Amino acid sequence: MKLSIVYSTHQTQFQAATLSGSLEENLSRIAELGYHGVELAIRDPNLVDINNLDTILKKSGLKVPAIGTGQAWGEEGLSFTDPDHSIRKKAVDRILSHIPVAHHFDSVIIIGLIRGTLKPNVSHPQAIEWLVEALQTCCKKAQEFQVRLALEPINRYETSLVNNVTQGLELIAAVEAENFGLLLDTFHMNIEEPDIEESILKCGQRLFHFHVADSNRWYPGAGHLNFQSILSALSAAKYRGFISGEFLPFPNVDEAASKNIEYFTSILPTINVQ
């Protein structure tokens, strides 16, 4: 089991884990805690010195399993389903600009809130049509670089577009691209899925990335989700990717990040590996 943790290269409104200090100090701290990877939330690749990032990552020994892109929505309002064509185009261009970076670090590109949410006077079929069109453009380009895209079903309180695995699989059928799959997040699944383990199995080989937080969005072990059973389902689904911690920085970032590692290490012997 490979563990990673979400880390943002810039300050943002939604801060899953904000370590204070320089990028170099933070990545070396993440590696010291025992993580194998760091999931980088990058609003705009043009704002990041990729060579410097590469040097620091090599020093830390951390892999980058996935790149989060949702800040382009949170901070700039870019979305695949905005009624304004120029905003949809900017959103697509932004994802296209992540592709060479994702290729370099061998990362999955996450399509989270950049898909947008249903805006007034836009019908659901229209929004899905725009979404499919944008995803097809991005997947086609990504395929040239052997890069995969993973859309994250997100709970109803954050978006009205694609809240669960069933809707995610419908989207996969419409996009028709081998390099398009899903990122499942236990926090959202706990709200939206009828059965978390069944939904993981339904997703099967289209599960490209996995986020963990407990029911209260604290680190795993701080709430009431059954991670033994969830990890067994991941194993049965033959998921070989990272288990990426995306939880609130409570009681503080350092404690949350180390409790996550301690918790998974402690339950590992109890997991029914298929």
Instruction: Please give the residue ranges that form the binding site for Mn ion (CB under 5 A).
Output: 185, 211, 246
Q: Does the protein bind ligand LER through residue 112 (CB under 6 A)?
A: yes
Looking at residues 23 to 62 of the shown chain, list those that interact with ligand LER (rule: CB under 6 A): none
Of 129-137, 152-160, 218-226, 251-259, which segment contacts ligand LER by CB under 6 A? 152-160
How many residues contact ligand LER, by CB under 6 A? 10
Of the candidates 39, 152, 193, 197, the residue annotated as catalytic is: 152
Asked if residue 251 has a cis previous peptide bond (ω within 30° of 0), the answer is yes
Of the candidates 192, 193, 197, 246, the residue annotated as catalytic is: 246
Q: What's the distance, CA 272 to chain centroid?
A: 25
Of Mn ion, ligand LER, none, which one does residue 254 interact with (CB within 5 to 8 Å by kind)?
A: none
In the shown chain, the binding pattern of residues 244 to 263 toward ligand LER, with x for contact by CB under 6 A and - for none, equals --x-----------------
Does 193 qualify as catalytic in the annotation? no
User: For ligand LER, which is the closer residue by CB, 41 or 92?
Assistant: 41
Of 96-104, 119-127, 151-159, 254-262, which segment contacts ligand LER by CB under 6 A? 151-159
In the shown chain, the binding pattern of residues 180 to 219 toward ligand LER, with x for contact by CB under 6 A and - for none, equals -----x-------------------------x--------
Q: Does the protein bind ligand LER through residue 154 (CB under 6 A)?
A: yes
Does 246 qualify as catalytic in the annotation? yes
Catalytic residues, by residue number, are 152, 246
Binding site for ligand LER (CB under 6 A): 14, 70, 112-113, 152, 154, 158, 185, 211, 246
